[in-house]
């Protein structure tokens, strides 16, 4: 318990250094916030225009899609915020900064997470909250404690899932020494597709997004429960399954660490 407390306080110390650094470049910070906000606002407009014309996409109305979209965007923004260090990891390996991490008597993952805190994603998070509010207002959801819990789990599980994918991508660079551009399909691509409930893309996509990278666990299944389209209440607990995926990613990460220590650069 003592070490856990120590690690958490160390993490916050790291983050405070990152924030102090960010404050040194104010203009850059505000431009990044504005830029990210506009880019993702563009995506929301896209969905809005589609619904202005078609009213429904496979039984889902605008409000329902907005709920789904808001949750995914929030997941992704939170993951970028907290686990963004993994996205910079390939560069750290190439520049040899990872050696310094290994020279310090604390967990490598903690140091990587602590190397970055994307506070600039705050714009996206606010946007997601507004979108969620709108979605809630226009779609008739009978809120029960179970459904509120499902939303919380979707957020937790989703953030964890995207973070795990970032970690997986980072682990790959132990072997290739550089980032894999193709891996962005799993992150940015998933965020893009995840705007809509995954079943609109058909059965094959559902399978890929369940058994390979389990996006449906944090999106499609709990959403069915949330929208009252199923009697199966346990769909709301599906986001917990992400822990399994995370375990696999941690395993790959460990393998990569081991590989690095015996090969190096």
Partner 1 sequence: MITMEHVYKSYRVAKRNAGMKEACKALLRRETQTVQALSDISFAIADGEMVGYIGPNGAGKSSTIKILSGILTPDSGSCLIDGRVPWKDRREHVRQIGVVFGQRSQLWWDVPVLDSFELLKDIYSISQYDYQHNLEELTQLLHLQELLKIPVRQLSLGQRMRCELAASLLHSPRVLFLDEPTIGLDAVSKLAVREFIQRLNAAHKTTVILTTHDMQDIEALTKRIILIGKGRVLLDGTLEDMCLLAGKPQSEESRFGTKKHESMAFRQNADKTEAEDDTASENDLDRIVASLYQKLEIL
DSSP sequence for 116-154: ---GGGHHHHHHHHHHHHHHHHHS-----HHHHHHHHHH
Q: Which of 1, 4, 8, 13 binds partner 1 (CB under 8 A)?
A: 13
CA distance 48 to 50: 5
CA-to-CA distance for 112 and 19, rounded, in angstroms? 15
Contact with partner 1 (CB under 8 A) among 58, 104, 207, 254: 104
Name the minimum Å distance from CB 97 to partner 1: 8
Q: Is 20 in the site for partner 1 (CB under 8 A)?
A: yes
Q: Which is nearer to partner 1, 88 or 229 (CB)?
A: 88
Longest CA span, the chain: 58
Tell me: does residue 58 bind partner 1 (CB under 8 A): no
One of 8, 9, 38, 248 touching partner 1 (CB under 8 A):
9
Per CB under 8 A, the list member of 53, 103, 181, 203 interacting with partner 1 is 103
Q: How far is the CB of 220 from partner 1 (least distance, A)?
A: 37
Q: Give backbone dihedrals phi and psi of 161, rounded to 5 degrees, phi first.
A: -65, -50
- Write down the least CB distance from residue 163 to partner 1, Å: 23
14 is an interface residue for partner 1 by CB under 8 A = yes
Residue number with CB closer to partner 1 (11 or 220): 11
| Cα 73 from Cα 86, distance rounded (Å) | 19
Residue 211 main-chain phi, psi, to 5 deg: -95, -25
260 φ, ψ to 5°? -65, -45
Nearer to partner 1, 26 or 204 (CB): 26
Find, among 197, 195, 191, 196, the residue nearest to 225 by Cα.
Answer: 197
Q: Which residues contact partner 1 by CB under 8 A?
A: 6, 9-10, 13-14, 17, 20-21, 24-25, 96-97, 99-100, 102-106, 261-264
């Amino acid at each position: 318990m003592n070490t856990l407390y120590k690690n958490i306080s160390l993490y916050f110390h790291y983050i405070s250094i990152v924030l102090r650094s960010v404050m040194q470049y104010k203009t850059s910070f505000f431009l990044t916030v504005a830029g990210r906000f506009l880019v993702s606002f563009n995506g929301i407009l896209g969905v809005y225009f589609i619904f202005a014309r078609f009213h429904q996409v496979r039984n889902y109305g605008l409000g329902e899609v907005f709920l789904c979209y808001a949750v995914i965007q929030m997941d992704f923004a939170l993951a970028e915020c907290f686990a963004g260090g993994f996205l910079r990891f390939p560069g750290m390996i190439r520049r040899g900064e990872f050696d310094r991490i290994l020279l310090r008597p604390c967990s490598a993952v903690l140091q990587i997470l602590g190397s970055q805190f994307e506070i600039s994603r705050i714009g996206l998070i606010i946007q997601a909250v507004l979108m969620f509010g709108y979605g809630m207002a226009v779609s008739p959801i009978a809120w029960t404690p179970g459904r509120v819990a499902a939303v919380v789990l979707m957020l937790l599980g989703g953030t964890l899932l995207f973070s795990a994918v970032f970690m997986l991508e980072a682990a790959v660079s132990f072997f290739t020494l550089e980032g894999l551009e193709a891996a962005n399909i799993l992150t940015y691509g998933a965020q893009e597709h995840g705007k809509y409930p995954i079943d609109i893309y058909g059965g094959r996509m559902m399978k890929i997004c369940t058994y390979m990278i389990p996006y449906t666990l944090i999106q499609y299944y709990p959403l069915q429960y949330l929208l009252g389209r199923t009697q199966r209440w346990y769909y709301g607990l599906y986001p917990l399954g992400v822990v399994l995926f995370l375990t696999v990613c941690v395993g790959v990460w460990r393998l990569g660490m081991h590989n690095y220590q015996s090969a190096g650069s």
